Amino acid sequence: MGTGPRYNLPACRRAADITYQAFRIIPRYIVAGMSERQLAWRLGRVLANSGSQQRAFSVIAAFGSSAAEPHHVPTNRCLRRGDMIKLDAGAVYQQMRGDVTRTYFFGSSPSSKFRQRYQAVLQAQQLAFTYYRAGNNGQQIDAIARQYLKQRKFHHLFIHSLGHGVGRAIHQPPFLTPRSKGRRLLQVGDIVTNEPGVYEPGWGGVRIEDMVEITAGLPRWLGQAPRQLRQITLG
């Protein structure tokens, strides 16, 4: 069960609460001229002030074309109008971890390319979410998102798996990948990420990642932070 030794479900929920609170706060600190390192540091401080006992992993902050790297290490690159911003971070509470990603656009008018790709990733996430049910395997769920992105002709830009369990470890079973058929099935009490993305070197990348609790009935988002296009357009 998801409440086994890798999980403390109440603590997982609290880690998610803290993480989502930080993502609701961080947009107010994003200003032109700040560096990736400065924004990563600030998000780390917001997590701590929101109740995180440590960081689940090193905060990822990527601007513009740097967002093409799924696990970009923040640099001194400074934020400019017209940049996309990818932030990935998680809180820790009683050894349980959170894991959330948001992609923002810094400027008043996102390009049509950004809008199309962002909306495709968001729709892929929403479609996959309905299949986060106990008894389903990761390959089936990953395929839902991948097939939708294929219809939009973005599937070749989706270069990682759809999701993974998160609890005591930041990556733990069950895994939602094209290779996970017949392996660990989703179980009631699991906390699993849902994180489709598209990446293009030289352009950037879009990832939207949320935490999902597997229940005996419908799946449940473990928190809310802005993710609609109008909400993630800053400045």
Q: Is residue 2 part of a domain?
A: no
pLDDT digits (tens, 9 = 90+) for 132-169: 999 999 999 999 999 999 999 999 999 999 999 999 99
Rounding to the nearest 10 degrees, give the CA dihedral for residues 145, 150, 156, 162: 0
Residue 50 has pLDDT above 50, yes or no: yes
Residue 191 domain boundaries:
9-234
pLDDT band at 235 (very low <50, low <70, confident <90, very high): confident
What pLDDT shows up at residue 3? 41
Residues 55-110: pLDDT tens digits? 999 999 999 999 999 999 999 999 999 999 999 999 999 999 999 999 999 998 99
Predicted confidence (pLDDT) per residue in 205-232, tens digit: 999 999 999 999 999 999 999 999 999 9
Confidence of residue 7 (pLDDT cuts 50, 70, 90): low
Confidence class for position 6, pLDDT limits 50, 70, 90: low
Q: Give the residue-averaged pLDDT of 169-198.
A: 92
Q: How many structural domains does the chain have?
A: 1
DSSP state of 82: T
In-domain check, residue 26: yes
pLDDT of residue 183: 77
| Predicted TM-score of the model (pTM) | 0.95
Question: Which amino acid does the sequence have at 48?
Answer: A
Give the amino acid at 113: K
CA distance 174 to 189: 12
Q: How far apart are the first and last CA of the chain?
A: 44
CA–CA dist 187, 54 (Å, integer): 28
Q: Closest by alpha carbon to 2, among 186, 211, 202?
A: 186
pLDDT score of 203 more than 50: yes
Q: Is the pLDDT confidence value at 126 over 90? A: yes
Whether pLDDT at 197 is above 60 = yes
51 part of a folded domain: yes
Binning pLDDT at 50, 70 and 90, where does residue 4 land? Answer: very low
Does 21 fall in a domain?
A: yes
**Residue 96, domain CATH:** 3.90.230.10
